[in-house]
Structure 1
Amino acid sequence: MLSRRSGSLRPFRLHHPGRLCAISVALVILGSSASASVASASGPVSVITFGDSVPSGAACHCIPFGEKVANSIASTQDKDYAFRNYARGGSTSAGLLSTLKTPEVRTNTAGSDLVLVETGANDFSPSKAAQCRNDIASKNCYGPQLRALRSILSSALRTIKSLQKYPRAEVMALGYWNVFQDGAVGRAKGKAFVVGSDRLTREVNKTIRFAARDAGVWYVDVYTPFKGPKGINDPTSLLAADGDHPNGDGHQAIVDAVIRRLGPRTSLV
């Protein structure tokens, strides 16, 4: 657990490289009926992230987006923050469910104000991306994994939400800009891979959005900040050298997306 005084981070832009998939302590759901205001009892703002290498901060050499979100919220209230990062490289949606069985995790989740979850990318193998580009969701391609992701993730999100004891605590489920490599690194793998990985990512994001809706939490769009509303922007400048994880600017783009989704009502009571 890392706890710092609010304002100890540079609140908005960091210029370092990095990236890894993850589930962040805030699960945001598009079209969810949940309230977007974050609330807590007295004491520091408590933020948790779950997921894969992305929320873990892999390849970034920077402060991961979850902690920057915690600092941003706490600084508006002149409070301290408590940040716990349970995201791990290689973690899957099933791994998240296992993590949520840990007593320490359950106790800390109960006292959280915001949980950010970014997971699911490691549920899929890039080996079929090119050949399945025209039939992404079929049973011979990624259909079974997409259905399993919705079931497992919705269960995990419900569990997190049920553990939180503060009535206005929030959970946010984050999508991806790409579940595989992107930018210049992705393009080097050929057009078929680029098309297939983008189509799969759109399906994964739709699945995460549905899982968030099922659980009554918020979905956070990470695709648009990296690739634009039409998916045609080059995200290379937001990615680490491996093309697979966000760098410092990429993590800041995710922070901005989370804060926008929370809206103006980020005060803690």
Structure 2
Amino acid sequence: MIHTLRRLAAGLLVLAFVSAVTGADTVSELLPPPAAGQVRVVALGDSVTSGSNCDCAAFPQLYGDLLHNRSAVPVTVDNQGVAGLDSTGLLQELDQRNSPVEQATKAANVVLLTIGANDFGDHHDDVTSGQCTGDCVSDEYEQLTANLGRILSRVHDLRGNLPTTILMTGYWNVFKDGDVAKQQYTPSGRIASDQLTIRTNNAIAAAARADDATYVDIYTPFENSTDITALLASDGDHPDSAGHALIARLLLAATPNPLPTSPRQGG
């Protein structure tokens, strides 16, 4: 026991010395870089990412398994999805020094990003009742557009000059869909929700094009499925196991093979 305490004390002294020399504030900043060939995935986003209302593996873990099977290298997945998160909240988490999101993003050479639907939550009733035109969400849309650019810029800042694959998904619907939407929303409200979803997806795709990120279309595969209800949980708002599996496959198909090894070009 005495020898163990002495070794622990010596280790703490070394850690304190290294921290003083390097200016590092956390042990995680002292960790060695990933081993060659290792893939670290961080999933950033809202309740779709976190796997809410589905007693199943969420798409980030399924994607990690598929990527491992394809590449035959170790893949670790850090799911940082948070139910209810909007783009402003994600940007704040990325900007918070030594937050779990910041640290996980620094360490990840693959970043999955699903964000934006909750930016319009305050107008849910207006949209789904058909009372809302595009003007009622214009401020939120403008803020989302700006935040997406800032989020991508922050990811690159955290990654430094390291090669990073960023995959940005859109949404099949920013609100509910399938049978639940038919029961709860007016016909004009379903149209308005669909139009807002397309507009949101266009903003996400534009942000990806302006960066070196990849936009992954979720809308078309979901909406063109034989029965979108079969891809959704009972709340009509989140994917079920089949929906998460579909998202994972779409992400894998959009992932470069092999992953890029060259530093990011451009600012």
TM-score range, shorter chain: 0.7 to 0.9
1:162 and 2:160 correspond: no
Partner of 1:223: 219
Give the aligned CA root-mean-square deviation in angstroms: 2.0
Partner of 1:186: 181
Partner of 1:18: none
TM-score by length of 1: 0.77
**Structure index of larger Rg:** 2
For residue 193 of structure 2, the aligned residue among 187, 194, 197 is 197
Contact persistence 1:47–1:67 (CA under 8 A): no
Question: Counterparts in 2 of 1:18-37, with a 5 A limit?
Answer: none
The C-alpha deviation readout for 1:196-217, integer Å capped at 9, x for no partner, is: 1101100010011112223331
Partner of 1:110: 106
Cα distance in 2, alignment partners of residues 131 and 266 from structure 1:
46
In the alignment, structure 1 segments of 5+ residues that lack a partner are 1-39
Contact persistence 2:216–2:250 (CA under 8 A): yes
Partner of 1:59: 53
Partner of 2:14: none
TM-superposed deviation, 1:78: 2.5
Percent of residue pairs identical = 32
Q: Which has the higher contact order (CA 8 A, sep 6+)?
A: 1
In the alignment, structure 2 segments of 5+ residues that lack a partner are 1-33, 262-267
Contact persistence 1:146–1:204 (CA under 8 A): yes
Partner of 1:70: 64
| Matched position secondary structure for 1:48 | strand
Change (3 A) 1:268 1:62: farther
Cα distance in 2, alignment partners of residues 234 and 52 from structure 1:
24
Partner of 1:128: 126
For residue 144 of structure 1, the aligned residue among 134, 139, 144 is 139
1:257 and 2:250 correspond: yes
Cα distance in 1, alignment partners of residues 193 and 230 from structure 2:
19
TM-score by length of 2: 0.77
Partner of 2:17: none
Partner of 2:237: 244
